[in-house]
Amino acid sequence: MPLGSRHLLTLQELTRDEVLKVIDTAIDMKRNPGHYANALKGKVLAMIFQKPSTRTRVSFEVAMRQLGGYALYLRWDDLQLGRGEALKDTARVLARYVDVVMARVLRQDDLDEYARWSPIPVINGLSDKWHPCQILGDLLTVKEVKGGLEGLKLAYVGDGNNVCNTLLVGCSKVGMNVSVACPEGYEPLPEAVEWARRNAEETGSKIEVLRSPEEAVRDADIIYTDVFVSMGFEAERAKRLKAFLPRYQVNSRLMGMAKKDAVFMHCLPARRGEEVTDDVLDGPQSIVLDQAENRLHSQKALLYLMLG
């Protein structure tokens, strides 16, 4: 079931079976890397970055290399985009050189516009609204650690941001339950909740958006958080810290209210001492480094299914 020339902009565009296929392919690639060493021979990925990145940049570049292809790192401001060249012109020109584009942008609208004109697949490497590649890696990690996905409960505590939006969509697709706890004014996108509820009708997931972190983490198998100040929101820092702290911090007290064998997840980078304490991030329940590693394997699978 190749994903063909479709774009990956939100995660909602993949069916449940396609999400599971990415995960299972990633598991096989992780076990048998040699088998895929030339799977994307001669293929080129262009990576456009309008914001900083460690994991996304390095994992995509290494993914292409391990599959026999090549990746180009392009900073938005170094491209003519930075001087105002139209997205539609850039999209059509890059497609004459490369096979697939991954873009990290400030505004989802710009990504949607780029994708509208791109004759080759476009992958969202994080926008203000969605982070599909992160959640594919996260679902792989959960499957490895918990042995399955369906019926597990993920509690997301903190900012209803890009990562939270995409968790709602991705987890509901594979039959996981999601409880979000966030302060007023920091809820996930209505669109994300609506899509999650629609997915849940088919998979039987339970979706809730609450105020209380304690209520959200009750019986949770996974506690997930992310920064309170995402890239692009730095001007709101003081206001945000006031809204989130101390109530929405994931610390040992909150971890202790979930299931005994609950794991802690974070997409990273973390702001230690803000959304999560050191002891939780570095503690035995934390699986954040496996999450980071799995960005590589899940993206290899994604690229392989798109281009292979």
Is 270 near ligand NVA (CB under 6 A)? no
- Of the candidates 252, 257, 246, 167, the one whose C-alpha atom is nearest the C-alpha of residue 216 is 257
Helix axes 108-117, 87-94, angle to 10 degrees: 50
* Sign of the alpha-carbon dihedral angle for 25, 285, 241, 246: positive
Interface with ligand CP by CB under 6 A: which residues? 53-56, 126, 134, 267-269
Q: Is 57 a catalytic residue?
A: no
Token digits for 232? 């692009």
Q: Is 299 a catalytic residue?
A: no
- Of the candidates 240, 251, 21, the one whose C-alpha atom is nearest the C-alpha of residue 140 is 21
Is 189 near ligand NVA (CB under 6 A)? no
| Contact pattern for ligand NVA over residues 216 through 235, marking x by CB under 6 A | ----------xx--xx----
Pick between residue 9 and residue 126 the one whose CB is nearest to ligand CP. Answer: 126
Buried b (16+ CB within 10 A) or exposed e, 121-131: bbbbbbbbbbb
Pick between residue 130 and residue 304 the one whose CB is nearest to ligand CP. Answer: 130
**C-beta separation of 229 from 236 below 8 A:** yes
With helix as H, strand as E and coil as C, how does 168-211 read? HHHHHHCCCEEEEECCCCCCCCHHHHHHHHHHHHHHCCCEEEEC
| Contact pattern for ligand NVA over residues 128 through 167, marking x by CB under 6 A | ---------------------------------xxx----
Pick between residue 265 and residue 267 the one whose CB is nearest to ligand CP. Answer: 267
C-alpha to C-alpha distance for 44 and 231, rounded to whole angstroms: 28
Task: Give the active site residue among 12, 108, 134, 249.
Answer: 134
Q: Is 134 a catalytic residue?
A: yes
Q: Is 266 a catalytic residue?
A: no
Q: Is 104 a catalytic residue?
A: yes
Pick between residue 129 and residue 177 the one whose CB is nearest to ligand CP. Answer: 129
Q: Which partner, ligand NVA, ligand CP, none, binds residue 98 by CB below 5 to 8 Å per kind?
A: none
Is 126 near ligand NVA (CB under 6 A)? yes
**C-beta separation of 224 from 187 below 8 A:** no
Pick between residue 151 and residue 269 the one whose CB is nearest to ligand CP. Answer: 269
Residue 255: which H helix or E strand, with range? helix 252-255
- Closest-approach residue to ligand NVA (CB): 230
Q: How far is the CB of 114 from ligand CP (least distance, A)?
A: 19
Residue ranges that bind ligand NVA, judged by CB under 6 A = 126, 161-163, 226-227, 230-231, 267
Active site residues: 104, 131, 134, 226, 267, 295
